[in-house]
């Protein structure tokens, strides 16, 4: 049975499902889920991510993590953790860069949090010595340098729309139901996750206002923050997202580099939503960390030496116009420089005296 047919059968007997359940099934169903296929990334896939555009991205992050390693006191052992490593390209670039810092290289062990078996085998090709985890709960009790690029946008969201109703307008949860045997959006009373939003609702919402919430993102953020608060370390989280919600829906599906209808072909398109950076930062603060102000990917990469890395690649024989085009794509305000944001946290564990 196709994923569409099994979703329909489920909805027919049990009623509409939340957007979060729909996303989780479409992305991670063990055989028919989008990431379970493992061939999504790169120029030939459905979308291209920063590390697949240029090694400049991973080299700048590697050099930044090397600085963080020093600033947390150059521990004897450190866990280098990546969430959702895709093809493993970013970590391969980071590990190669860290090779220039022998003390750190000797202290480092690589840990991947990855749900897709197909992508795990891609990652193993590029980073053979990594250790894999199903989720963040099993990270080793070590100082931790963590990176996540385009991981949080893939975590399931709930969406709430402000809709007209007989007794006046109200918030309703956007679900997936059936209309004439096709998957279609439906509204139900908000589920229990809605309670977490009570303090953030716009004071006078316009009809059509939409709020998205990713409880799974907040749980992951809390777990990693608590870990870094306990053992010391740093985190660099990069994704497309916003600092303040605009109350417009951002849930989308991408296939072959084009936006498509998220309900048309379950499991065949990447499903994402913009990341709520303010909420991720607030979660880190709740865990006792002190995140730096959220910044754009463009300024972040340029301030950490992306221009010099590009220059070095050209000096080593790379094609100048290709390197420049990649640098521009990663950093220009009208490309990935502003929409993509960076949340950076450095936390030196204070040893009890
Ligand atoms: N960081 C990579 C890939 C981003 S795509 C890059 O920049 O190219 C999202 C990645 O997160 C994939 O590896 C996907 O399999 C993984 N992923 C998605 N949801 C996950 C979950 N709930 N738990 C663990 N990994 C997940």
Relative to the CA of 116, which ligand 1 atom is closest? 15
Count of other CB atoms within 10 angstroms of residue 334: 9
- Mark the ranges of the chain whose per-residue pLDDT is less than 70: 41-43, 350-353
What is the C-alpha radius of gyration for the chain, rounded to an integer number of angstroms? 21
Choosing from 120, 151, 217, 340 the residue with most ligand 1 atoms within 8 A of its CB, the one to mutate for a pocket test is: 151
Check residue 247 and give its pLDDT.
93
CA–CA distances in Å: residue 138 to residues 30, 142, 216: 21, 11, 16
Using CA atoms, how far apart are residues 273 and 309, in angstroms rounded to an integer?
Answer: 31
pLDDT at res. 198: 85
Measured by CA distance, the residue closest to atom 23 of ligand 1 is 115
The predicted structure's pLDDT at residue 257: 87
Report pLDDT for 353: 54
Nearest CA to ligand 1 atom 21: 115
Sorted by sequence, the CB contacts under 8 Å of residue 80 that are 6+ apart come out as: 65, 91, 94, 95, 98, 108, 109, 110, 111, 145, 147
Q: In the beta sheet, which residues pair with residue 241? A: 275
86 lines ligand 1 (CB under 6 A): yes
Of 353, 352, 350, whose CA–CA distance to 143 is shortest? 350
CB of residue 90 inside a 6 A radius of ligand 1:
yes
pLDDT at 214: 97
Q: What is the pTM of this model?
A: 0.96
Q: Which residues are CB-neighbours of 6 under 8 A, at least 6 positions away?
A: none
Question: Atom 16 in ligand 1: which residue has the minimum CA distance?
Answer: 84
3-state secondary structure of 295: strand
pLDDT tens digit sequence for 253-282: 999 889 999 999 999 999 999 999 999 999
pLDDT for 4 equals 96
Taking all residues of the chain, what is their mean pLDDT, rounded to a whole number?
95
Closest residue to atom 11 of ligand 1, CA basis: 84
Alpha helices in 148-305 (DSSP H): 215-231, 277-286, 297-303
Q: Which two tokens stand for residue 332?
A: 């220009």
113 lines ligand 1 (CB under 6 A): yes
| Predicted local distance difference test score (pLDDT) of residue 140 | 98
In the chain, the percentage of residues whose pLDDT exceeds 90 is 90
Residue 351: its pLDDT value, please?
Answer: 64
For 328, which DSSP code? Answer: H
Please say whether the beta carbons of 270 and 60 come within 8 A.
Answer: no
């Amino acid at each position: 049975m196709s994923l569409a047919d099994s979703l329909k059968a489920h909805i027919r007997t049990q009623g509409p499902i939340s957007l979060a359940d729909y996303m989780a099934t479409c992305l991670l169903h063990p055989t028919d889920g989008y990431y379970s296929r493992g061939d999504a990334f790169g120029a030939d896939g459905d979308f291209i991510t920063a590390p697949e555009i240029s090694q400049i991205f991973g080299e700048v992050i590697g050099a930044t993590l090397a600085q963080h390693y020093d600033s947390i006191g150059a521990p004897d052992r450190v866990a280098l953790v990546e969430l959702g490593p895709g093809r493993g390209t970013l970590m391969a670039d980071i590990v190669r860069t860290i090779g220039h810092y022998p003390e750190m290289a000797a202290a480092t062990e690589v840990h991947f949090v990855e749900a897709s078996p197909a992508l795990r085998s891609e990652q193993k090709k590029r980073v053979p010595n990594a250790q894999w985890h199903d989720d963040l709960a099993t990270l080793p009790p070590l100082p931790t340098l963590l990176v996540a690029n385009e991981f949080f946008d893939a975590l399931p969201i709930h969406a709430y729309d402000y809709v007209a109703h007989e007794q006046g307008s109200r918030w309703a949860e956007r679900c997936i139901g059936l209309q004439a045997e096709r998957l279609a959006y439906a509204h139900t009373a908000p589920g229990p996750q809605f309670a977490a939003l009570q303090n953030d609702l716009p004071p006078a919402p316009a009809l059509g206002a939409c709020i998205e919430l990713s409880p799974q993102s907040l749980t992951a953020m809390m777990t990693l923050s608590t870990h870094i608060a306990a053992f010391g370390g740093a985190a660099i989280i990069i994704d497309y997202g916003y600092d303040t919600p605009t109350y417009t829906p951002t849930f989308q599906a991408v296939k072959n580099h084009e936006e498509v209808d998220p309900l048309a072909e379950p499991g065949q398109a990447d499903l994402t939503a913009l990341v709520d950076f303010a909420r991720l930062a607030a979660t880190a603060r709740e865990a006792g960390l002190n995140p730096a102000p959220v910044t754009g990917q463009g300024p972040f990469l340029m301030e950490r030496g992306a221009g010099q890395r590009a220059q070095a690649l050209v000096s080593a024989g790379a094609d100048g116009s290709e390197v420049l085009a990649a640098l521009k794509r990663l950093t220009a305000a009208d490309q990935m420089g502003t929409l993509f944001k960076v949340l950076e946290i450095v936390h030196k564990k204070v040893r009890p005296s």
